[in-house]
Amino acid sequence: MQCIVNRRAQFSASHRYWLPELSEAENIEKFGACTKSPGHGHNYVLFVSMLGDIDEYGMVLNLSDVKHVIKQEVTSQLDFSFLNDVWPEFQEVLPTTENMARVIWQKLAPHLPLVCIQLFEHPELWAEYMGNSMEAYLTTSTHFSAAHRLASTKLSDEENADIYGKCARPHGHGHNYHLEVTVKGEIDPRTGMLADLVALQSCIDYCVIEPFDHSFLNKDIPHFAEVVPTAENIALYISNLLRKPIKDLGATLHKVKLIESPNNSCEILCSELESNSVADVAKEPVLATV
């Protein structure tokens, strides 16, 4: 029987986004505040996922051995370092979160049966790499507060109450929604970026956060005048709003995760919807996990 095991590690390091072949103005335009000298730092959190058979001792791997490998090959070298200088790979391709995940995979792959490297730059930004050449995933998270009422205009109040319970009460209720947007793309062989992070965050702010935050979804977002704003339908609509703008940035929208409360969340796997138009998607069953 095979099993995936995960090992957590952490390190603190600094880096700077700067390409010597570009002018100061060009660097600032491309990387913004990340160009400031001598750089800036993060407390990185690393998750190493490994696949193997469960042995007679009930283990896939001896985690003490795994800990030693990660420390020897990665964290002891990166901890309290200036990343641009520590490894030659980061002089060729800038040490962005997504490129760091790729290079860490390369360092550990000869020693461990890897299936995924997940690297958190901070709690609202992380990357995943699964060994597919220059392809990686980048996730940014944000939040908005909104109210909604779960009730179909096609049903009576009694029928809505039977289906949605307290959530069908006429004056609605609110949530502090937590939104995670994951994009997929090729890591640029020089900048280390699979998408312009500032542009990506601006896209999410413009398309989602500004119109949704402090709104009553049923009344303020025209789409939900007829569509019941369940977490699933909200996440689906957000994926429809973001797909084309993210494509215009040179990346692919991979997943939208909406956390309505600590007890409820859903995920839209956008690759499942890629062949459908936005109009068609809105009419189809929601592809979500709760």
| Catalytic residue annotation | 167, 214, 260
Residue linked to tokens 């160009």: 35
Contact 165, 173 (CB under 8 A): no
Question: What contacts 18, CB < 8 A, 6 or more positions away?
Answer: 27, 31, 35, 37, 84, 94
The DSSP bridge pattern shows strands 252-261 and 264-269 to be antiparallel
Those residues with Cβ within 8 angstroms of residue 23's Cβ, 6 or more apart along the chain or in another chain: none
Spatial CB neighbours of 33, under 8 Å, sequence gap ≥ 6: 40
Cα(3)–Cα(238) distance, integer angstroms? 34
Q: How many beta carbons lie within 10 A of that of residue 142, not counting itself?
A: 16
Residues in the chain: 290
| Token reading at 46 | 């690393």
